[in-house]
Amino acid sequence: MGYTNLQECLKDLEARGELVRIDRQMDPDIEIGAVQRRVFRAGGPALLFTNVKGTRFPMAANIFGTRERLRYIFRDTLPTIEKLFRLKVDPFAAFKKPWQYLGAPRALWAAMPRTVSDGPVMAHQTTISELPHLRSWPMDGGAYVTLPQVYTESPARPGYGRSNLGMYRVQLTGNAFEPDREVGLHYQIHRGIGPHHAEALERHEPLKVNIFVGGPPAMTLAAIMPLPEGMPELMFAGALGGQRMRMVRQGRMLPILAEADFCISGTVYAGQQKPEGPFGDHLGYYSLAHDFPVLHVDRVTHRDGAVWPFTTVGRPPQEDTLFGDFIHELTAELVPTVFSGVHEVHAVDAAGVHPLLLAVGSERYVPYAEKRTPQELITCGLSLLGSTQTSLSKYVIIAAREDSPTPNAHDVPGFFRHMLERADFERDLHFVTRTTMDTLDYSGISLNQGSKVLWASTGPVRRRLATELTGNLPLPEGFGDPRVFAPGMLVIAGPRHDRGRDEHDPRMQALADALEHAEGLDGFPLIAVVDDSAFTAADWDNYLWVVFTRSDPATDMYGVRSFTHCKHWGTRGPLVIDARLKTYHAPALEPDPEVERRVDALGAPGGPLHGII
């Protein structure tokens, strides 16, 4: 069966040669995070740092750092979990082929948490100061927990059935937090802890919060799993871990994961917020300091032999990329049951996940029409923008399954080619302005607010995409270095952005006006204006990251011969996206050169990572 605790997992990985111990002293301030990222990029093993500066606790990293290792960790239960998800798709499958679902009752039994009076995590008490203080990037505002499992229950109806387990950012030190007494609790919009906090405020009660670190690996994955409303992550963790999660309940306290390595227990009081951040985040930029709830620390406990697991995030791909891929594999068959008419979704990791969602839907509303046009696709796209984590998407680009060849949302170059061949930008763009957006995305008009666009195209091929420029472009002053990135996709370097937030740039409109007189642009329906066209056009990862993390659809889309008719915006010529870094954007993540040189030394002959990095 699955691992009862983190120690069992690490011991097994070491026996398989999948874990390397690093016994020389390492600094959790920047250095250890840089090592983890380097080993991840190399496809290397899990890491156990046994001599961590400033703390007596060892730290473990890159546990989930390869697809093969991730699947190995959950090898005993994955077949049954996959069958349970298929059962959700077709509830009659168990009756048609019952022998394939023999493990389902055991998995459902394992999903039920077990209340106990004591557990290993209660063995010792410590303080926030004595914990490992991981700081991943030079401008981070303090030390953070990067693999936390934040547990809350409904204040109105407490119990496991209405619990929430989420991976929300926890700042241990820095800013104005009182040492050992306060930590920052950063949770973004559309997170399960939000309703619990709202209930507590309505009832004029404080919110009890437990933060587990370590424990069964299944708990880590469950904390990031986008489960349907009403399915507690704690129960999914039991099914994935192959055994009931033991929860310590003493008196009226909030339950604590018995096999966790650490637990930070605390209380959130009404009206108490403090600045949290900056923090180098998974979009590849710093999220800046903003006011978030303060958790008053009541107690910190840990088990014998406790190990502090961590990851670091940054511009994708990182270790959390594999979490996303793994979750997609598990839930791909559920997509049509959650979104009617949608067959495939791909939240593009290289673009920071939420900024770009590619999807394949149906176009069946008028099957007898001589020519297919986007109709059901728009309904599908609005459904994606209306619920679950897909509602945080900024660009939703949706194709029709009925088109030939059938589009594949996970073949990004092929998908863009398919869409651009069929795009009618007089018709296919649908904007939602001044709406909620991902907290970490700084391209909008304020924190948590910006715009979204649904691009839905279908029907026969409308144009042949160009692969080279046939003439000179009439570019205004400040614009230059045009490059063909992919068929139909052009990248142009623009002047440094100098406008304020929530403003159009008249120089971009001047560019669109100038391109109206250009020859040979018919084959380039999509133009991106960037700071560095050579960097952006170097590969798909660069293009996706630059274009979709640095633009807000309503603010930063322009068009050659654009128009507004009855509040519908479109363009008769190429679509132009302003993807330059804006004056109000958060800075991009840059490594510390001196730290990187120290990491290089670990990979030199005689170093603990020789032959790995």
Residue 111: pLDDT band (50, 70, 90) is confident
Domain boundary among 402, 434, 457: 457
Residues 6+ apart with CB under 8 A from 396: 357, 359, 381, 384, 385, 390, 452, 453, 454, 455
Pairing of the two strands 526-530 and 575-578: parallel
Provide the terminal-to-terminal Cα distance of the chain, rounded to the nearest Å: 33
- What number of residues does the chain have? 613
Q: Give pLDDT, residue 88.
A: 66
State the alpha helices, DSSP H only, in 111-216: 193-202
Same domain, residue pair 302 and 389: no
Residue 559: pLDDT band (50, 70, 90) is very high
Is residue 492, in this structure, part of any structural domain at all? no
pLDDT digits (tens, 9 = 90+) for 136-157: 999 999 999 999 999 999 999 9
Same domain, residue pair 47 and 151: yes
Q: Give pLDDT, residue 338.
A: 83
**Pair of tokens at residue 180:** 């050992």
Question: Per the structure, how many domains does the chain have?
Answer: 2
Look at residues 210, 181, 213 and name the one whose alpha carbon lies nearest to residue 297. Answer: 181
Query: What is the average pLDDT across 19-25?
Result: 97
pLDDT digits (tens, 9 = 90+) for 289-339: 999 999 999 999 999 999 999 999 999 999 999 998 898 888 888 788 788
Domain of residue 349 covers: 319-457
Is residue 18, in this structure, part of any structural domain at all? yes
Q: What is the CATH number of the domain that holds 418?
A: 3.40.1670.10
Same domain, residue pair 301 and 349: no
Same domain, residue pair 271 and 135: yes
pLDDT digits (tens, 9 = 90+) for 272-292: 999 999 999 999 999 999 999
Considering the chain, what percentage of its residues have pLDDT values greater than 90?
82
Domain boundary among 277, 310, 343: 310
**Alpha-carbon distance 468 to 338, whole Å?**
42
Buried/exposed code over 488-525 (b: 16+ C-beta within 10 A; e: otherwise): bbbbbbbbebebeeeeebebbebbbeebeebeebebbb
93 pLDDT exceeds 80? no
402 close to 363: Cβ distance less than 8 angstroms: yes
Same domain, residue pair 342 and 294: no
Backbone φ and ψ of 452, nearest 5°: -135, 155
35 close to 62: Cβ distance less than 8 angstroms: no
Q: Give pLDDT, residue 229.
A: 64
Residue 110: pLDDT band (50, 70, 90) is confident
**Alpha-carbon distance 168 to 223, whole Å?**
9
pLDDT digits (tens, 9 = 90+) for 398-450: 999 999 888 999 999 999 999 999 999 999 999 999 998 888 899 999 988 99
599 pLDDT exceeds 60? yes
Is residue 153, in this structure, part of any structural domain at all? yes
Same domain, residue pair 291 and 430: no
187 close to 276: Cβ distance less than 8 angstroms: no
Same domain, residue pair 333 and 302: no
Same domain, residue pair 231 and 254: yes
Same domain, residue pair 268 and 326: no
Same domain, residue pair 60 and 184: yes
**Alpha-carbon distance 93 to 108, whole Å?**
17
The pTM of the full predicted model, rounded to 2 decimals, is 0.93
Same domain, residue pair 266 and 405: no
Is residue 494, in this structure, part of any structural domain at all? no
**Alpha-carbon distance 299 to 294, whole Å?**
15
Same domain, residue pair 277 and 357: no
pLDDT digits (tens, 9 = 90+) for 189-219: 667 888 999 999 999 999 999 999 999 999 9
Look at residues 496, 499, 527 and name the one whose alpha carbon lies nearest to residue 511. Answer: 527
* Segment holding 49, helix H or strand E: strand 46-49
Is residue 553, in this structure, part of any structural domain at all? no
pLDDT digits (tens, 9 = 90+) for 222-240: 999 887 666 789 999 999 9
Mean of all residue pLDDT scores within the chain? 93
**Alpha-carbon distance 109 to 308, whole Å?**
29
Is residue 567, in this structure, part of any structural domain at all? no
Domain boundary among 310, 341, 360: 310
Residue type, 334: L
CA distances from 314 to 43, 93, 569 (A): 17, 41, 35
Q: What is the CATH number of the domain that holds 189?
A: 2.30.110.10
Is residue 489, in this structure, part of any structural domain at all? no
Q: Give pLDDT, residue 71.
A: 95
